[in-house]
Amino acid sequence: MSETGHAHSVTGVDNRKFGMWVLIGSECFLFGTLIANYLINRGRGLSGPKPQEVFAIDVTTLSTFDLLMSSVAMVLALHYCKTKELRKFQLWTATVVLGGLIFLGFQYHEFSTFVLHDGLGFSTNIFGSSFFLLTGCHGLHVSVGVLWMGSILMHSLIKGNSWFNHDIVEVAGLYWHFVDVIWIIIFTVVYLFVYV
């Protein structure tokens, strides 16, 4: 049993942490399939805009910086949770939530520009369908992460020093970093390979 009273699996790893890694493993398949689907279909659109005509790499680079920095904030939040420094933990957890919200703002800006300015919707062509499916699925994962970290922040604000559950923060952190790792791949393969 861990100090928070949760059982370990036969591997010696906390069950929730082990479960999160299994989930991450299965999510690799999901995103691997979605990225393959995008790469296969991105150039097959019979009508409508092409990737080269709509992508704004400068803006996407900024959103990548933002997500990377939120990952740094996440690892610092976990560190200060372990050292039981409440204010610093709350500050960095709030930074993670803010970073996630800014990323979602960037995504909203990108999607609305595509739809309203470039005329690229989900059903415009197969590039649009595969692009929105992939990045929308990632955005959905970011949204879940923001809600999760937001709930952790609320718990710590309400319960104060009596709430220091590093196991929960670590599992949430694993999820958040995984979302970041997936974006690292999407940024390179989807955006930077646009002319390849």
Give residues in contact with another protein (CB under 8 A). Answer: 3, 11-13, 17-18, 21-22, 24-26, 28-29, 31-33, 35-37, 39-40, 57-58, 61, 64-65, 68-69, 71-72, 74-76, 79, 82-83, 166, 173-174, 177-178, 180-181, 184-185, 187-189, 192-193, 195-196
Rounded alpha-carbon distances, angstroms, from residue 158 to 122, 125, 192: 41, 48, 43
The structure tokens listed for 188 are: 């390179």
Least separation in angstroms between CB 13 and another protein: 5
Nearer to another protein, 29 or 158 (CB): 29
Q: Nearer Cβ to another protein, position 25 or 160? A: 25
User: By the 8 A CB rule, do 28 and 189 touch?
Assistant: no
Instruction: Tell me how far apart the alpha carbons of residues 80 and 35 are, in angstroms, rounded to a whole number.
Output: 35
Backbone angles phi, psi at 179, to 5 degrees: -60, -40
> Nearer Cβ to another protein, position 40 or 140?
40
Question: Is 36 or 140 the residue whose CB approaches another protein more closely?
Answer: 36
Those residues whose C-beta lies under 8 Å from the C-beta of residue 19, and which sit 6 or more positions away, are none
